[in-house]
Structure 1
């Protein structure tokens, strides 16, 4: 129970970082599209590094301990990664939401305003991040801590980019509050993931791989297309590389 509480609190702190990162919007009248792309690119880089260094590699190690075979371990993680990506794909297809560039996705919900459709889309992005923190704590605090720190760091620029987009529809203070609200789904997802791998330790490689697949799907399907929307992806790509090596450094040094 102490490990679950620690993991949930760490994920809560990472989620709150979304709102903290959005606070500068109260002092800045407008955030340029290039700056938003750079912030989202950084977030994508952190998520990619976390998926591989913090989730897939430990998943392979845990699966090999369970199965006694490198081949069977690799197959377990392959299936888990694909299941995570498929789950996000299905959730993305069913949940009504709207992207700032690509428009409406998922089911039709005429009773929901466009802003809330945006909020749902952002919330869907945060579910894999919460899962990643939760299941990484299943490996141990030495692995979960760097993941929570990395997710929190990437949530700050992501929160600012999200709030800047929402400010087109709401007052800046409301946009900051909505950005914070979208991050609060992370401790819920963390609690679910950590409880599952804690109750059944054999699920650990499955949970790690599932979270990794979900995060990679979000990066490829949602974040990168958004950051390449104006055909000036040089800055966002550079930011992605910075985020990737920053998360890699955190995982290697502290994990």
Structure 2
């Protein structure tokens, strides 16, 4: 298949993993988890993202484009997410409302917040298939899919905790993963048209993911008595993804 189709397939499967993670919320016996466990799930997801950023995106970006291209791409990715974070209204369960005031319902502000997480992940998957080595793209898609499962579960449980019915909590968690194919199409399409964009795209996706990890996920999970548990969960996610990256790559 072409790079574009691999990017679409990989990012779609990774995005669907978010819905897979939300399935337990449909069953009372599986969804009765603590706030601490939700933070641990998100911490684990952050660790997986961090390892994928380092080993699957930044190292290849340096190999293909050099350290200055990689650094420039990271800066662009950070600035892109910073602008989106500042000018798109969105809401987090712990940090509350960010961006300009909006008349949108709270649930849609929350969906926008998760969308800001997932778009750079889809971009990372799409760009990673541009190396011409399918295993590179499969590694990144696997990483994003793995971290989307606990993220989807955490999102669904959080929605359930603020009063949403089980079916709607699952649906909204599933919905947040559907933005990843859009990022995948963009990343794979740009690499297909302009091959020189490959290291830039990898570094931009890496910078965007670093911004999400540092500005969004860690503050959401590292608070109160949950902080130390979330830290160990992050380290566990990082270690597991480091092993998978070497085994799959």
TM-score bracket, normalised by the shorter chain, equals: over 0.9
Unaligned runs of 5+ in 2: none
SS at match of 1:170: coil
| 2:204 matched residue in structure 1 | 210
Among 98, 105, 123, the residue aligned to 1:131: 123
Unaligned runs of 5+ in 1: 64-72
| 2:81 matched residue in structure 1 | 88
Q: Is the 8 A contact 2:25 2:170 kept in 1?
A: yes
| 1:66 matched residue in structure 2 | none
SS at match of 2:226: coil
TM-score by length of 2: 0.95
Q: CA deviation at 1:235?
A: 1.3
| 1:2 matched residue in structure 2 | 2
SS at match of 1:101: coil
State how far apart, in whole Å, the 1-side matches of 2:31 and 2:245 are: 36
Q: Deviations over 1:95-137 (max 9, x none)?
A: 1101111111112111x11111111101111011111111111
Q: CA deviation at 1:231?
A: 3.9
| 1:20 matched residue in structure 2 | 20
Check if 1:150 corresponds to 2:143: yes
State how far apart, in whole Å, the 2-side matches of 1:119 and 1:230 are: 25
| 2:221 matched residue in structure 1 | 227
Among 84, 93, 97, the residue aligned to 1:104: 97
SS at match of 2:97: strand
| 2:46 matched residue in structure 1 | 44
State how far apart, in whole Å, the 1-side matches of 2:233 and 2:95 are: 22
CA RMSD across the alignment: 1.1
Q: Is the 8 A contact 2:31 2:157 kept in 1?
A: no
